[in-house]
Chain A
Amino acid sequence: MHEGSRAEATTAWLFLAPFLAIFLLFTGIPAVLAIGASLTDISARDIRDPFNVNFTGFQGFIDIINNPGFQSAFLNTVMFVVICVPISMALGLALALMLNNGIRRLRNFFRAAAYVPVITNIVAAAVIWQYAFSITGPVNTTLADLGLGAPNWLGEPGWAITTVVMMGVWRTTGTCMILFLAGLQAVPEEIYEAAATDGAGAWRRLWSITLPLLRPTTLLVTVLQTVSFLNIFEEPYLLTKGGPLGSTKSIAVWVYEQFGFGNVSASMAGSVLLLVLVGIVAIVQFRILRPKH
């Protein structure tokens, strides 16, 4: 190793040290303790005396995998990922393309408008959504005025899922848009000019230049969105408490509920499984979508 690179490495570690310390303290150690707790039968009443529990190995994991409530939460979570990730990414990309190419004069306005849901306090937003989509709320009043039906948005499983999906997409599309916009602005203008000179139309340029060059951004957005929706908690918890009939209960909501019941071990096992799931999905996505040089 060269002298110079060693100095660079030292500098790098020095800059990384504060992050690593915080990461270790607030993420690393709790994760290890959670894994440890998931291998025991610890419950709320033992939590002040951690030596008063039994080692149960993977029994806790086997139990929750066989638990119908967890299975249902798992399927709901997968459903949210499968529905929300493509929709929010497609909308984010469309908005980014629009802002990058079309309405340049109003770019700042639209960029802010699309990003507002990302920075809006989720609890305040959920209260407004809950009110808006209640049976007699403004959404149904408007639909009734238009002569359309008034669905029971939060009371029927299918509509409740739809509402949670809409809120999830509403909240994350802005993030996708900003990331795609950054990616689009990194594409050199000359490539488009050259392609235009060769007679490539707008669709051709999008298909053959923009999308391939956005591949790293797409990878990043896909992974971030997937991880975000695997961990989905606020939308189902605040809008529907996981109901009706458990139709919107995600793994994170299930984990939270179990902790509230004092089932600390099951709660920890659920969160560890979620962590493993997030890790596996992220690795697979990186493998599949990694740019090929």
Chain B
Amino acid sequence: MHFHTTSRRRATMLGIALVTSGALLLTGCGRSGDSGGGDAGASTKVDDEPATGTLEIWTQGADGAELPQMFEEFTKDNPDVEINMTQIPEAEFASKMTAAITAGTVPDLIYAFTETQSSLISTGGFDAVPDGLVDPDDFFEVIWDNSVYDDVAYGVPWYAYADMVIYRTDLAEAAGAEAPTDWDSLRTFGEDLKASGVEWPLALYAAYDSYTARQLLTFAKQNGGGFISDDLSTWTINSPENVEALEYWAGLMADGLASPDGPAFLDTVSWSTTGKNAAIIDGGPWFVGWFDDANGEGWADEHLSLATMPVGPDGDAATTVGGGSWFVPSDSENKDAAWKFARFMSEPESQVKWFEIFKNMPAVKSAWEDPALAGDRLLQTVEAGLETGVTLPKVSTWSQVGTVIGEQMEKVVRGGVSAQDALDEAQAQAESIGTGN
């Protein structure tokens, strides 16, 4: 009996000692101040010699599957570099990257989409873009700025896109529906198609996460609203303009013009191909290539047309702009090769090549003048979009606040909550989360 008591006491003491030492290890001293990120980059120089060594790249999303075609281009001039690519599901990317930064087991290079760049940069685990690596003026401002944090650029933009309305011309013709240009005509377009027998005329993002929130932001901007003040200090989620935008968006679902259950991102092509949807609202330009991949070359030309996003009641234009940029983790073991690959991907020829492969628009302005792009019908709508592009709130807590907004949007379409109540709740939660800056 005595043995047990002693052993238990000893175990308890040991536990307390371990926890205390763990806590002390983690709390040696107070926060010394916010650190924007890794090295400032001023002293880092990347020369023009070919890259060497092994380059570990983590990819995410559908882009990753096609990327090896660009590796082949890169290794032509850099034969001594070996590229190892690891594909990570997009939904897991942020968690895996945070864990890798924690453990110091990072790859040499990653790309991040606009949605997650702020939160990744705020981990402090990435290096600044070395001076002279690229010229910021070469890129579309809206994309370059997205990875600038406290006046330091952390990402080299890779591509840019602006969403648009992609619609089935054959179905619209059969229904006698005109391409939508504003909120009213978008609704009429949906009603005409519904009347002609299309189950869900409009495809809206309805995953109820930060991507759904991004869609609301577009409608909010079209209505003169927005989620955050210009100086990024105050959330403005429940403004009257935003509430109105949410009422409009949710009304399309309430009236059966869009399904609250999809299409999920990867179902988009099949839903529109089979005529379950007639128009993808907020559709990225890459979808056009996907339709051809799924249905055969030329299908998109025969069945699809493109229009810029509808404008709001007062004629305000806004579309979602996104893209991907390259980032080099501070613990990368081959930063030299990593930056050289990032630089290579931002060269106009590489940008054009990537457009041909994936239909993602170049982030470098001069690449748009290339003959390969000049006759492409996608460009007219995307170009208009890049001029009216909506940037996401550039704060480190955006992923979390965006998810909160997405969850509240779901309550409006599924839970019978009013748009005002939902956005009031989102505003309250966002205020408690803060901006992280």
Partner among A48, A55, A244, A264 whose Cβ is within 8 Å of the Cβ of B414: A244
> A260-B94, A260-B95 given as contacts; is B22 within 8 A of A44 (CB)?
no
Chain B residue nearest to A258 (CB atoms) is B400
Q: Are B27 and A48 in contact (CB under 8 A)?
A: no
B26 at the A interface (CB under 8 A): yes
Q: Are A47 and B30 in contact (CB under 8 A)?
A: no
A32, A157, A257, A261 — most chain B CB neighbours (10 Å): A261
Partner among A32, A45, A53, A243 whose Cβ is within 8 Å of the Cβ of B122: A45
Q: Are A47 and B28 in contact (CB under 8 A)?
A: no
A45 to B124, CA, bound (A): 5
Q: Are A50 and B98 in contact (CB under 8 A)?
A: no
Interface of chain A residues 199 through 246 with chain B (CB within 8 A): 241, 243-246
Partner among B21, B23, B91, B95 whose Cβ is within 8 Å of the Cβ of A259: B95
Give me the interface of B with A, judged by CB distance under 8 Å: 18-19, 21-32, 34-35, 91, 94-95, 98-99, 101-102, 104, 119, 122-125, 207-209, 260-262, 330, 396-397, 399-400, 403, 407, 410-411, 414-415
Residues of the A chain whose Cβ atoms lie less than 8 Å from the Cβ of B18: 32
Q: Are A44 and B410 in contact (CB under 8 A)?
A: no
Q: Are A55 and B411 in contact (CB under 8 A)?
A: no
Q: Are B415 and A245 in contact (CB under 8 A)?
A: yes
Q: Are B25 and A36 in contact (CB under 8 A)?
A: yes
Q: Are B23 and A46 in contact (CB under 8 A)?
A: no
24 chain-A/chain-B pairs, Cβ below 8 angstroms: A36-B21, A36-B23, A36-B26, A36-B27, A37-B26, A40-B27, A44-B122, A45-B124, A45-B396, A48-B102, A48-B104, A48-B330, A49-B35, A53-B30, A155-B261, A155-B414, A156-B414, A243-B410, A244-B208, A259-B95, A259-B98, A261-B397, A261-B400, A262-B98
Give me the interface of A with B, judged by CB distance under 8 Å: 32-33, 35-37, 39-42, 44-55, 135, 152, 154-157, 241, 243-246, 256-257, 259-264
Chain A residue nearest to B96 (CB atoms) is A260
Q: Are A55 and B23 in contact (CB under 8 A)?
A: yes
Q: Are B25 and A246 in contact (CB under 8 A)?
A: no
Residues of the A chain whose Cβ atoms lie less than 8 Å from the Cβ of B24: 36
How close is B154's CB to chain A, nearest CB, in angstroms? 13
Residues of the A chain whose Cβ atoms lie less than 8 Å from the Cβ of B399: 260-262
> A33-B22, A42-B26 given as contacts; is B95 within 8 A of A263 (CB)?
no
> A50-B26, A50-B28, A52-B29 given as contacts; is B95 within 8 A of A44 (CB)?
no
Residues of the B chain whose Cβ atoms lie less than 8 Å from the Cβ of A157: 414
Q: Are A245 and B122 in contact (CB under 8 A)?
A: no
A264 to B420, CA, bound (A): 31
A262 to B101, CA, bound (A): 11
Q: Are B119 and A262 in contact (CB under 8 A)?
A: yes
Partner among B29, B95, B330 whose Cβ is within 8 Å of the Cβ of A51: B29
